[in-house]
Chain A
Amino acid sequence: MLSFLRASSRANLSPYHVVIRTLITTENIVESAPEKKLYKKDPPVSSSEPSDSALPASGMSTFGEQFPHYDIVINGGGIVGLSFLLYLQQSPFLSDRKILLLESQKDRPPVNLGELINQERLLSNRVSSLTLASKQFFNNLDVWSNLEPYAKPTRSMHVWSTKYSKGITFTPHRISFVDNLIKDSRCHIPGDDNLCYIIENDIILAGLRNKIRSDCIRFDSKLTNVDAIPGDTTVELTLSDESKITTNLLIGCDGYNSFVRQSSDINYFDLDLSQSAIVGTVQISKESDLDENDVAFQRFVPHNRNVLALLPLTQNFASFVLSVPRNQVNGLMELSDEAFVNLLNENLFLDANVSKNQSMLSFVTNTCDSLLEKIIPSDAASSLPRINPPQVISIEPESRASFPLKFGTTLPWMVGTVKGGDKQKCILIGDSAHRVHPLAGQGLNLGLGDAEILGQYLDEALSNGQDIFSDNETSQEQLNQVLYNVERQRQFKLIPMMTAIHTMQDLFTYLPSNVFTAFNKLNFVKNEIVRFANSR
C-alpha cells in the first residue's frame, strides 16, 4: 500500500492531479504551479531564446531536414488521452499507423490492480462518476473488467435544494417507447441496473496504463512549440528536450491549460466562476445494516449558494465535492477536521427557512412555493432513496484539497489550424475543449465521448480505404471531412450539456422547491434526462 501511495504522490506533479494529501492544500499553490507559468509566458520559445540560435527559428529553415514523422501525435496522457490512445491501439486500421503520445509527467510504476483489491488502501480524493456510455467505452477497450472491482455502482441520485423531501430522485433508465423512435445508435444507452459508477481517477489511469503498449508513449516530455507554414500538410513540433518531430494530426488532450489550444487559432471563451471546489473523503452514516451506500446526493444549498455532492465510494465511505465562493476557500481549508465535518453536515441538513431573507425574489419564490404546495399532493417522501440525507461522521485526515472552478470552452469549434499554418491540423478533446463545473459529474464523460467519437470516425475513414494521412490535398480534404464530422457530432452533445450544467445552479437556487416536487413526478422527463446524461 505504501508503495502505491508513494508512487501516486510522485506521479502527481501536475496542478490538476492533486491526489494526495499534504502535497497541495490550497488553491493558491495549485494556481501558481510552475508548468502553467511556463506556458503562459513564453510560448514561441524557439524563436526568442538565444540558446536556440543554432536551431532553425521556424519551420521555414527546416527544409530538407527530416524529423521523425508521425501520423498522429496526442499531447497529454490524462484519462482522455490514454483512452484515446488505447482505442487507436485496438483498431486494426489505426494501430498500423505511426502514433505518439506525449505526457509531461513521469511514467507511473505499474499498479497491480488485482493485488490492490485485497489490500487496505487509502482512498484517493480525486474520483469521477462514469456514465453508462463511458462504462461501455471502457468495456469495449477491455479495461472495464479490471476497473469494475473498484467502481462503486450507484443506484440513484437525489438532488435537492431547500428541503430534502422536495427533491428530484433520478433512477436508472427504463426502456420506453422512445427507444423505438430513436434511430441514432449513439442515443441508445446500454441497459444497466445502475445510474452511474463512481471510481477513483488513479484507478482508471492505472487500468488504462496497464493495457497500453508503452512504446508509443513518451513520458516526461512536453510539447514546447508548434509550428506550421502555409501550404504545408504537416506540423512541426518541438519537445522539451529540443528534439523535433512532424505530424499530420495533432490532438490536444492536455487538459484545461491546453498548450495545443494556445498554439492554435481556436478561440477559447472562459469565465471565472469565482468558486472553488474542496474535495475529500468522508465516512458517512448508514441508514440500516442493509444500506449499501449506493446513492449519490447533491444539494444546492440555498442560503449560501454552496453545492455539495456526496458520491459513494465503498460501503462506508463517500467522496465529497463542495463548491464554495472563492473567498471562503482558504478559511475552510484551514478548519480543523471536526469543524469541517460540522460544516459539511450543516450544508446537508440546514433548513433554508432558518435564513429567510427579505428580498423581493425570495418573497416571490416563497409565495409560489406555498401555492404549489396546495396543488401538488405531498407523497414525495415515499420515493426517496433514504428518509434523511446521510450524516457525515468523520473526514479522512488530510484528504482535503481544493481547486478553482472555471468554465471554459472552445465550442462550437474543436478543429483548427496551428498558428502560422493554413490547414486544419489539430483537434481538441476533453478538458482542453470544454471545462465544466463538477456539479453534474460530466466533465470526464464528455471528454471520453470526444475520444470515442474521434476514434470511431478515424477508424471508419481508414476502414473505407481513405487516405487521410498523406501529404497531398485530397488526403487533407478527407481528413478535414472526418474532423468536421466529429466536431459536428460532438456539438449536438456538448452544447446542450454545457448549457444545462451552467444553468443548473441558478435553477436550483431560485426556483421554488415545489417545482422540483412536481418535476419529480415526471418520470418520463426524468427518464429522458437520464438517457441524455448517459448517452454519447
Chain B
Amino acid sequence: MVILMRFAVRSNLLPWLLSSHQTNKSLTVGVRNLSTVLPDEVSFYNNAGFDWWSGISMKPLRALNQLRVPLIRDTLTGGRKLTTSKPLNGYSCIDVGCGGGLLCEPLARLGASVTGIDPSQSSIQAAEEHRDWFSSSLSENLNYKMTSIEDFVVNESHHNQFDAVVASEVLEHVQDLDLFIKCCEKLIKPGGNLIVTTINQTLAAYIIDILIAEKVLGLIPQGTHQYELFISPTSLQKLVEHNNFTVRSIQGMMYNPLSSRWSWSKCTANNYAMVAVKDAKETKQNS
C-alpha cells in the first residue's frame, strides 16, 4: 500500500485523484483578454483567486515550460550551444497574456529582459507578488503591465522593440485573431519571432479539452474553452503569413498526465506550437 502511494505521488497520480474536488473556479488556462473577448471574462478571472504557482490544476501549464522555454530559448539563440547560464542576455521578449508569470520568470532567469502583459489585474498582481517574494533577483529584467495588447500597441515607443512576442495558450481565448496578430507584428523587431502555442480545431481537441477536461473530469471550469475559438495550424499559418510573417516551424505537443511531462510530437491534432519570423520589410503584401 505504502509502495502504491509512493508510486502515486511520484507519478503524479495523486493530484489527479484529488483534483476534481478542488478546482471549481481556481482554474483557467491563462486568460488574456482583449477587447475581443467577452468583457465579463476579465472580471471572472479577476475574482477567481488563482493559484498559478502551486495549484494542482495549473500543473499541466507549469509543466508546459519543459517545451516552451527551450523552444523560445533556442529560437532566440538560433540553437547555438549554451555557454553561459544567462544565454538570453540582451534579448527582449514580451509575453502576451502572461497570467501569473509562469513563463516570464524562467525566461527572465535565463537573462532575457521580459515584459509580461495581461488585462487581468489579479493575474498581474499575483505575478508581481511571486516575483517580489520568491524571485527578487529578477526585478531588474522582469516587468509586468496590466493592459491588453491593443492598448499596449497604442504607445508607439513599443513598436519594433521585441526580439520575440510569445503568445502561449492565449489564442484560443481571442476572438479577433487578425487584430491580435497585427498587434504582435507591430511589437516585433524585423527578423524577430512570433512564438505561439495553442489548441487545434479538431475533434480530438474537442474531446480532450472540452469534453473530458471540462465536462467529464471537471478539471477546468466549464466554458473555459470554446470550440469556435480554436484554430487549426493551417488557418493560423495563413493568417500570420497575411500579416508579414514567414512560418518557420509547426510542431505538435503531447501531454502525459501520469508523468506530467510534455513531449514534442508529429501529431498536431491537439496542442501545437508555431514559430514565425517577421519579414524584414513589408514587401510581402498578399492579396
Contact = CB atoms under 8 A, between A and B. Distances in A.
B283 to A, nearest CB: 36
Interface in A439-482: 462-467, 470, 472-475, 477, 481
A294 interface: no
Nearest to A470: B134
A467 B83 contact: no
Contact of A474 (B6, B83, B134): B134
B105 interface: yes
A57 to B, nearest CB: 30
Interface residues of B, number: 26
Given A465-B69, A481-B260, A487-B10, A92 B82 contact: yes
A466 B54 CA distance: 14
Contacts of B110: 463, 465
A485 B108 CA distance: 25
B85 A92 contact: yes
Contact of B109 (A95, A467, A485): A467
Contact of A93 (B69, B85, B108): B85
B85 A477 contact: no
Nearest to B260: A481
Contact of B83 (A92, A477, A487): A92
B107 interface: yes
B109 A465 contact: yes
A482 B233 CA distance: 32
A477 B51 CA distance: 14
Nearest to A463: B82
A464 B134 contact: no
Interface in A465-517: 465-467, 470, 472-475, 477, 481, 484-485, 487-488
Residue from A465, A473, A475, A487 with most neighbouring chain B CB atoms (10 Å): A465
Contacts of B261: 485
Interface string A304-337: 0000000000000000000000000000000000
Contacts of A488: 10, 259
Nearest to B134: A472
B65 A464 contact: yes
A96 B85 CA distance: 7
Contacts of B105: 465, 467
Contacts of A472: 133-134
Given A92-B85, A467-B135, A487-B10, A474 B106 contact: no
A462 B85 contact: yes
B65 A466 contact: yes
Interface string B40-73: 0000000000000110000000000110011001
B84 interface: yes
B16 to A, nearest CB: 15
A95 B84 CA distance: 9
Contacts of B107: 465
Contacts of B260: 481
B84 A92 contact: yes
Contacts of B87: 92, 463
Contacts, number: 57
Interface string B171-205: 00000000000000000000000000000000000
Interface in B1-57: 6, 10, 53-54
Contact of A464 (B10, B53, B54, B70): B70
Contacts of A470: 134-135
A484 B258 CA distance: 13
A184 to B, nearest CB: 12
Contacts of A473: 53-54
Contacts of A481: 260
Interface residues of A, number: 22
B19 to A, nearest CB: 15
A464 B66 CA distance: 7
Interface string A362-405: 00000000000000000000000000000000000000000000
B82 A464 contact: no
Contacts of A464: 65-66, 69-70, 73, 106
Contacts of A413: 6
B134 A475 contact: yes
A474 B108 CA distance: 17
A7 to B, nearest CB: 36
A229 to B, nearest CB: 21
Contacts of A95: 85
B85 to A, nearest CB: 4
B138 to A, nearest CB: 9
Nearest to A483: B10
Nearest to B261: A485
A21 B201 CA distance: 73
A465 B106 contact: yes
Contacts of A474: 53-54, 134
A453 to B, nearest CB: 15
A283 B105 CA distance: 62
A465 B108 CA distance: 8
Contact of B70 (A92, A96, A463): A463
Contacts of B69: 464-465
A463 B73 contact: yes
Interface string A86-97: 000000110110
A463 B10 CA distance: 23
A15 B105 CA distance: 48
Contacts of B82: 92-93, 463
Interface string B71-91: 001000000001111010000
A465 B106 CA distance: 4
Residue from B10, B53, B135 with most neighbouring chain A CB atoms (10 Å): B10
A199 B248 CA distance: 48
A487 B83 CA distance: 27
A411 B248 CA distance: 45
A473 B70 CA distance: 23
Contacts of A475: 134
B184 to A, nearest CB: 22
A463 B84 CA distance: 10
Contacts of B84: 92
Interface in B227-255: none
24 contacts: A92-B83, A92-B85, A93-B82, A95-B85, A96-B85, A463-B70, A463-B73, A463-B82, A463-B110, A464-B65, A464-B66, A464-B69, A464-B70, A465-B69, A465-B73, A465-B107, A466-B65, A466-B109, A467-B106, A470-B134, A470-B135, A472-B133, A474-B54, A481-B260
Interchain residue pairs A-B with the least CB separation, the first 8: A465-B106, A465-B109, A464-B69, A96-B85, A465-B110, A93-B85, A474-B53, A484-B10
Given A465-B69, A473-B54, 18 more contacts: A92-B83, A92-B84, A92-B87, A93-B82, A463-B87, A465-B73, A466-B106, A466-B109, A467-B109, A467-B135, A470-B135, A472-B133, A472-B134, A474-B54, A477-B54, A481-B260, A484-B10, A488-B259
Interface of B: 6, 10, 53-54, 65-66, 69-70, 73, 82-85, 87, 105-110, 133-135, 259-261
